[in-house]
Structure 1
Amino acid sequence: MKIAVLPGDGIGPEIIEQAKRVLDALRSDGLPIEMEEAPLGGAAYDQYGQPYPEVTQKLAREADAILLGAVGGPQYDTLDRPLRPERGLLAIRKDLNLFANLRPAILYPELANASTLKPEVVAGLDILIVRELTGDIYFGQPRGVEVRDGERFGFNTMHYTESEIRRIGRVAFEAAMKRNKRVCSVDKMNVLETTQLWRDVMTELAPEYPEVELTHMLVDNAAMQLVKAPKQFDVMVTGNMFGDILSDEASMLTGSIGMLPSASLDANNKGLYEPSHGSAPDIAGKGVANPLATILSAAMMLRYTFNQEQAAQRVENAVKAVLAQGLRTGDIYEPGTKRVGTREMGDAVLAAL
């Protein structure tokens, strides 16, 4: 089980350290885990002048799975766009053809009061958002900024092929078969031809999964419904840009983006696993970041890439146990609970494990 560990920037190294401790504990219990580190993002630029250097490419390609912290920081905002940390993240997704992004939004009972929505609206929330990750307007060509008719003109291109839509659709339907057998496909077909094709292909795919109920929803309505009645959703599937926005919105229904893991998979379930939050440079180095999303990302890795369901559940149950004990990092703290730091939270998860 060869894992490439990419700590990244900001709080990345701090939260990755706690996930590594959990994986080390599982290795002590007999799992054949190997871990090797390399830089990505700003850390890679600082060391190699590129956000996704050859040394990291080689390790990522050879590994069975990648565990990533987070990338980015304000000190890199003035770099030429191809050199910015975020380009390293886009590059590794493209390089490894990680086309399927799975982002669960789960509200743990102990955190019901942390959500800005009423507990009765979000209690028991369990949504899986499946986001296409290697196409759409993020990668479409042509793109750029140029001068036309004496003024600056910016342009990007949105496009999808039928095969790209079909393969992400299959991921969503397969996921729904293991859950509550409902898929909501999100598009903007009333305005965008690209997403009319998206709806057509999803509709054509549905008969292959007769047990799964397929519905369609326009993206603006989906954004509203996530706030109004989020528990109506089971699996949501959508394109790269809409998925980026909706998955962040869904994450906040749970009270803190610091609790949410994610997986980005290729066709063979090789995956890149990372917390859904960013590099949080404002708290980097202070030892207060929440490591639970990263630890839960490691659990997703055990489940999806290594088929170690029992180990994945052990990690998830340890996180639940720690929350039940009332331990909280600052992002999920509320009166009556115990505020702890990054390493203390890792200690507690290890003890529960």
Structure 2
Amino acid sequence: MDYKIAVIKGDGIGPEVVDSALEILDAVGEKFGHKFNYTEVLAGGCAYDEYGEPLPEKTLNVCKESDAVVLGAVGGPKWDDLPGEKRPEAALLGLRKELGLFANLRPAILFEALKDACPLKPEIIGDGLDICVVRELTGGIYFGERGFRDTEMGKAAYDVEVYAEQEVERIAKVAFDMAMKRKKKVMSVDKANILESSRLWRKTVEKVAKDYPEVALDHMYVDNASMQLVRDPKQFDVIVTTNMFGDILSDEASMITGSIGMLPSASLGENNKGMYEPVHGSAPDIAGQGKANPLATILSMSMMLKYSLGLLEESECIEQAVTKALNEGNRTGDIAGTGEKILTTAEMTAAVKANL
């Protein structure tokens, strides 16, 4: 089959890791008889440099017409002084909103071969970790009313956290559906002891839970959740939470697996049309040096094959190839132990491709 894929390489190491991921995707296509047709467009800092906007209309139109979107990374110190609506990160918010991508799936898996890279004690991680953070993506404080006002203490800035019942219901359903395919446990994270929006969140999640009697639902305040992730991460299966809390907790979850360079993500809408990107940032300090770990982006392709294109065997093929490459001792600098050989981005990509 033929598929239309929008490609946004972005800034920093984005082009390097996306090129690696597409090389693997093409190899999978050749193996299984599929053709992936790529249309490259700009978003982020490079788009601002070219068009004066972080999300050009052309980019948005191509993404809307594609079966899925591949994104590298956006941002960097070069654009830090731009106003909010012109910053590279505004492209991410715009893509999520315009494409209706309300559910962000961030699996945090500790590969057996990388146990030594985990910063936690062996007795804490036991036989491994497998957590999935389901983050609401188009509501909350990132999309709420914002502005400035004068106060007795000078100029003040404000950002408003707003959630509607339907927004909470749809993300909760994603989390419960995910849990049904895993260990049937959902932890809803909020701040219901303080925030009115969190009290509505908790009440709505409990209502959705009634449709999933097989799934055990628990609640945890976000400050406690951040502590428990490093104290006893094995207690978690699926975590569902708000946009801002999910932004923070998913990065914490990724680091306890050894390296943020290993973690993929999927942002999905109602029709499973999605945008797929690594969790890590643009890392401009190592851009163009061949030091970037491509595995997070390669694993994001696995998620794309599974969730947007429905190609389960092909998705599993990539996951197994990554696992085999790691078991063989292949390492980039971020996951290498003392004395281990460090591979370049291209060499790690070749190791995965050889195991397809």
Tell me if TM exceeds 0.5.
yes
Structure 2 counterpart of 1:10: 12
- Per-residue deviation at 1:337? 2.9
Q: Which amino acid aligns with 1:5?
A: V
How far residue 336 of structure 1 moved from its aligned partner, in angstroms, is 4.8
Partner Cα separation in structure 2 for residue 336 and residue 118 of structure 1: 21
Q: Which of 139, 142, 166 is the equivalent residue of 1:135?
A: 139
Name the structure 2 match of 1:317. Answer: 320
- Between 1:112-121 and 1:129-138, the stretch displaced more is 112-121
The corresponding residue for 1:77 is: 80
Deviation at 1:24, TM superposition (A): 1.0
Question: Is there any run of 5+ residues in structure 1 with no aligned partner, and where?
Answer: none
Match of 1:99 in 2: 102
Which of residues 245, 270, 275 in structure 2 aligns to 1:272? 275
The residue number in structure 2 matching 1:197 is 200
Residue 120 of structure 1, CA deviation? 2.6
Aligned to 2:335: 332
Question: How many pairs were matched up?
Answer: 352
CA–CA separation in structure 1 for the residues paired with 2:193 and 2:286: 43
Task: Name 2:261's counterpart in structure 1.
Answer: 258
- Tell me by how many angstroms 1:148 deviates: 2.6
**Pick aligned residue for 2:248 from 245, 251, 254:** 245
The residue number in structure 2 matching 1:23 is 25
**Greater than 4 Å deviation, 4+ residue runs:** none
The answer to whether the aligner puts 1:296 opposite 2:299 as a matched pair is yes
Structure 2 Cα separation of the partners of residues 55 and 287 of structure 1 = 30
Partners of 2:26 and 2:35 within 8 A in 1: no
**Matches of residues 165-180 of structure 1 in structure 2 within 5 Å?**
165-180=168-183
What secondary structure is seen at the aligned counterpart in 2 of 1:287? coil
For 1:258, the aligned partner's letter is G
Instruction: State the AA in 2 paired with 1:317.
Output: Q
SS in structure 2 of the partner of residue 331 of structure 1? coil
Q: Is 2:352 the partner of 1:349?
A: yes
Q: State the partner residue of 2:231.
A: 228
Amino acid at match of 2:130: D
**Superposition TM-score, scaled by structure 1 size:** 0.98
Cα pair 2:17 2:292 within 8 Å, conserved: yes
Q: Which moved more, 1:77-86 or 1:262-271?
A: 77-86
The residue number in structure 2 matching 1:215 is: 218
Q: Does structure 1 conserve the Cα–Cα contact (< 8 Å) formed by 2:108 and 2:132? A: yes
* Structure 1 residues 228 and 150: alpha-carbon distance in aligned structure 2, compared to 1, 3 A threshold: closer
Aligned to 2:51: 48
State the SS of the aligned residue for 2:258: coil
Q: How far is the alpha carbon of 1:150 from its aligned partner?
A: 6.0
Q: Distance in 2 between the 1:120 and 1:38 partners?
A: 46
Query: Which string of whole-angstrom CA distances, capped at 9 and with x for unpartnered residues, describes residues 24-51 of structure 1?
Result: 1122221132111111100111111110
1:33 pairs with 22, 36, 39, which one?
36
CA offsets 1:94-148 (integer angstroms, 9 cap, x no match): 110100000000000111111111123124100000000000000001x123333
Equivalent residue, structure 2, for 1:126: 130
Question: Distance between the aligned counterparts of 1:240 and 1:118, measured in 2?
Answer: 30
Q: SS of the residue aligned with 1:330?
A: coil
Instruction: Tell me if 1:60 matches 2:37.
Output: no
Distance in 1, matches of 2:251 and 2:147, equals 26
2:112 pairs, out of 109, 112, 119, with 109
AA aligned to 1:124 is G
1:184-234 Cα distance to aligned partner (Å, 9 max, x none): 101110100100011101111111011111111111111111010000000
| Cα offsets for 1:158-197 (capped at 9, x unmatched) | 0100000000000000000111111010111010010001
Q: RMSD value over aligned CA atoms? A: 0.9
**Which amino acid in structure 2 is aligned with residue 231 of structure 1?**
K
Report the alpha carbon displacement of residue 18 of structure 1 after superposing the two structures with TM: 0.4
The amino acid that maps onto 2:19 is: E
For 2:132, the aligned partner's letter is L
